[in-house]
């Protein structure tokens, strides 16, 4: 069941996202939510080996990892990769910076996006326009 996928766990950052189509092929899709929690969100001091083992047989492990990276998932095993390993990956990709590069404004102004993929100025402009035309 889709509800049993690890990102359906309420505490997961990814819970807000609709599971994408590839989750149909996920090796974990038939797990109960409890089992998925155990495997992919092991309690402190518990082994994550069983979760990783399942991921290693999963045909969509790469998609899964990409999604966790996109969503900046702070916890859990995705694509067989732990949160700590993801942090290291991001750091490596960013040339040593532990935070992901800020998203830039979609208007191409080079500003940093603060809301709805817009910088503060473009966001304010859009809101102003919306109020003006209302």
User: CA 48 → CA 29, 66, 113, 118, 127, distances in Å?
Assistant: 18, 19, 36, 39, 46
Query: Which C-beta is closer to Zn ion: that of 86 or that of 122?
Result: 122
- 1 near Zn ion, rule: CB under 5 A: no
Question: Which of ligand SF4, Zn ion, none has residue 64 at its interface (CB below 5 to 8 Å by kind)?
Answer: ligand SF4
Least Å from the CB of residue 32 to ligand SF4: 13
- 17 near Zn ion, rule: CB under 5 A: no
The stretch among 13-21, 22-30, 103-111, 124-132 that binds ligand SF4 (CB under 6 A) is 22-30
Q: How far is 7 from 33, CA to CA, in rounded Å?
A: 10
Q: Could you write out the three-class secondary structure of 18-85?
A: CCCHHHHHCCCCCCCHHHHHHHHCCCCCCCCHHHHHHHHCCCCHHHHHHHHHHCCCCCCCECCECHHH
Binding site for Zn ion (CB under 5 A): 105, 107, 109, 111, 119, 122
Binding site for ligand SF4 (CB under 6 A): 6, 26-28, 40, 54-55, 58, 60-61, 64, 78-80
């Amino acid at each position: 069941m889709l509800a049993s996928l690890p990102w359906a766990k309420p505490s997961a950052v990814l819970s807000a996202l609709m599971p994408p189509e590839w989750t149909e092929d996920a090796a974990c899709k038939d797990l109960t939510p409890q089992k998925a929690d155990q495997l992919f969100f092991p309690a402190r001091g518990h082994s994550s080996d069983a979760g990783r083992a399942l991921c290693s047989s999963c045909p969509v492990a790469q998609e899964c990892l990409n999604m966790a990276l996109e969503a900046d998932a702070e916890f859990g095993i995705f694509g067989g990769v732990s949160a700590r390993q993801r942090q290291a990956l991001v750091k490596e990709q960013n040339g040593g910076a532990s935070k992901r590069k800020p998203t830039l404004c979609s208007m191409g102004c080079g500003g940093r996006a603060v809301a709805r993929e817009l910088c503060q100025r473009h966001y304010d402009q859009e809101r102003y326009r919306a109020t003006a035309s209302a």
